[in-house]
Each structure stands twice: as structure tokens, then as C-alpha cells.
Structure 1
């Protein structure tokens, strides 16, 4: 048991030193790649693990592009661009057609080899008017080879743990070693997935395309024309406005008269009721006053 645990401790220490060595190697790779162009095919002769006997480091560049176009016939223009991409061994990854009233907008993604990205962008610019065009390049060379080195180190450690597992004598040893194997296996799978993702991104460029119709009314206008009213138009609009206001006021007076005439019987009845109430109220007040007077000055 003590021998197995001692061997595990030695292996962990060796793995830690190997990880530090790979990090230094990654930093060295970064410093040696300053000044390179962003072309995927650029190579630099340098010792690197996993690159064969030639010792050449292949640059890992992720290159993508965006195009915003304007065309009179949107669907025809996109069909020409897609046909060019297919002939260049590219393919359509995503396509969306939107109808704004009578105007069509096409948005799409095309996957194509990085060395042909500029060519298809130039072709698209010849088939329509370019509103906006951009390309981006991301150098993942350092991260790529750093992960590749750490992956090999993890695989070597995994083989050692398998050997320890064969020599384990107790259940406790087996469980401890199995936990280490599971953890290392998870890390290896994550690194392999990251490398596969980088390989896919490096081998294919993504071109985002948006094509708008030229006479799209929703598109902001570059030039605003002067469109002030003439004096005759101002006079006509002022006259029409004044007449409209007068018509509204007259209509209000007419409707007020109609309403008053309609409810006049009710107003007459209400007036009679108010007069009766007022008469009765005055009579009661006078009667109370006479009673109070008689009470205050009784006959002698």
C-alpha cells in the first residue's frame, strides 16, 4: 500500500513538472510567432511535439468574413454567390429569406476553405453593391499546441495509472486509482474535443452574407431632399385649418342646443319641484319663527 501511494505521489509530481514545461513551451511559441502574416498556410520550422519528423509548426488561423450587399434582384444575386461557393467546394450552412412588405432580405452563412474566402468576397462584390465588408483572423497556434502537449502528458499519465491498477491489492487502492483514471479521462476527452473544434474552425471559414433590395423603403436614405411648402400651399392649409376649427365650434353649439331642447321637459319639471321645495321651506321657517316669538313673549 505504501509503495503504491509513493508511486502515485511521484507520478503527480512528474505531471506537475510536465505541465509547467508545456506552459513554458507555449509561451516560447508565442514569442517566436510575432510578425507572421495571418495566412493559414504559413509555416515556421521549429521543434514541436506531434508535428512529425520535419519539426515544422503549422500556423492555426481562424479566418471569417462578413458581407452586407445591396442588389436589385436579391434572390438572383444570392443564387450566383452560392453557385460560386459550391464550385469552390464550399456549401450553404444557413439561409433565411425575409419579406418586408414587397421587399426581400436574404441572410445566409456559407462555409468555404480559408484560402478561397477573399475570392468569393470579391466575386460577391462584383455581383452587387457592397455596403459593408470585413474579415477577421484569430491566431490560435499557441493554444493549440499547448493543449496538444498537455493532452499527450495526460495520456502518458493514464497509462501509468492503468499499470498501477493492475498491481493494486486492496479495494481502497482500486477505488483511489479508478478515481484518478476517471478524472484524467474526462480531461483527455475535453482536450480532444477542443482540438477537433479548432481543426474544424481552421479548415473552414464562415462567410456571413446579408443582401438587401435596392429600393427597400425601410433603408435609411443617404440624402434628404428639401420639401418646404409654398406660400400658396401655406395659405390653403391655413384657410382649411381655420374653417375646420370654426366647423367644430359651430357643431358644438348646435349639439348643445339639441341636448338642451331635448331635456327641456325634464328641466321644467325639475324647476317646478325646486319652486315647491323652496316655498315649503320658507313657510316652515316662518312658522318656526312665529312659534319662537310667541314662546319668548307670552301674553300677559
Structure 2
């Protein structure tokens, strides 16, 4: 599968997220602790928000640990909202258009997991995408199909409802074709101000997902930790696996949950598909 992180808070250099932590995303691209695959070397992507109308994207089919340009970019670029993803293909081609995050306007989207029996259900899912959105699809992944289904079902107006409708639709099509467990996912999406993250699978055994605890509380616990004191109180991280071993810094996102983070406030809500 894949590993990803979603950051929001005070502007931070990308290298502080991608390289510096003990279990950084680049480290996870080679030695994932909790992923289905240890190695996630089938490309990577970084999305970030600056002053442009749309977020920036850097995508590559190189393994993240081996890309010199990523290290250069990460050392020079800072942002208050960052999405980053390292890919382990579930069967689709290794090409830039299959690398996450995916972008539509100001919105980013990334996914870990799969649509089961995707070649069997691909055509029917694709035909449900709004015709005005269909020309934007550049790659061949189930993740990009999920994104455009969610856009079709109202992602820009109500992300939790749109994702619930998308998952319900995928499960209905999967059931129609006799697929036992149609979807496995952790998904993150943002408009640059609010981040929504989802953990769900049809079999009730979803891929790992964690969120950071309140920075202010951690500062009291670890007064001598300089990293914690350099982050703003509204800092939030959602990650496929913890970036370090600091006790109390990470909490697991429960099964079938939607996490909403905005302005330093986060909320955990039950997530259920809607047919």
C-alpha cells in the first residue's frame, strides 16, 4: 500500500516533515513499520499551499529516498499546509500521473488502500463520474477514480457526506459483482484551510492511521524538547504511522472515523457509508 502525512500549523520547512523525524516519511519509504509492504518505492508526491491560487505539486516516479530534487526542494520550501505521500503500487503503472496527491482547484486528495477487484468494477465506477470532471483524470489508479467520484458526489460542498456517498457507491458496485470487501482506505483531503481524514474498510480492518496530540500538553510533559516548542499551538499532523517514539505524542484514529482539523481544533466523528 502507501504511507502519507497531512500537516497543518505554522509554516515549516518540508524537510522538517519529510527527513528530520526519526520515522520520517522518507524513512518509511524504505522501512515502513506498520504498512502492508515494508518498502514504498513506487514514486512519491508533495503538495503544499503558498500564495498561489492553487497548491503546488511535486510528483516523481523515483523512490523518495533516492530523489535529489526532493531534498533540494524540501530544504528551501516552507508551508503551513502540507500533504505528502510515498507510493507502493497495487498493480497500476509507475508513472507521474499515478502519484499522489491529486489536485482539483484548491483541493488535494491522497489515499492509502485499494478498491478490490478494480479491473472488474473500473468501467462502471468511471461512468458515474460527472462528465465535466472526467477529462481531468490523467492516470490509471483506483485512488484517482475515488477522488473524482467524491468530487461528483459533492466533495467541495460537504466532504464527509461526499466521501460517505462515494464509499457507499463503491461498496454497492462491488457487491453487485460479488466482491466480498470492496474498499480499503485511509484518505486525506484539504482545501488549504480544513483537513478531513478518513479511516474505513469494508471488512472493518483498516490500514493504520494516527493523529498528533495537543502540542501545548506535550510541551508541559517534555519541557526540554526543542522541537515541541518550535511548533505553533494549532499544529496538527495526521499520519499513516507515527513519525517518532515520543510517548503520548500520537493517538490512533479509531476504525470507521472521520477526523476534521481546522485552526488547531480537531474533531473525531463516526464514519458510515451512504448508499
Q: TM-score, normalised by structure 2?
A: 0.23
Bigger strand fraction: 2
Bigger helix fraction: 1
Q: Between Structure 1 and Structure 2, whose CA radius of gyration is higher?
A: 1
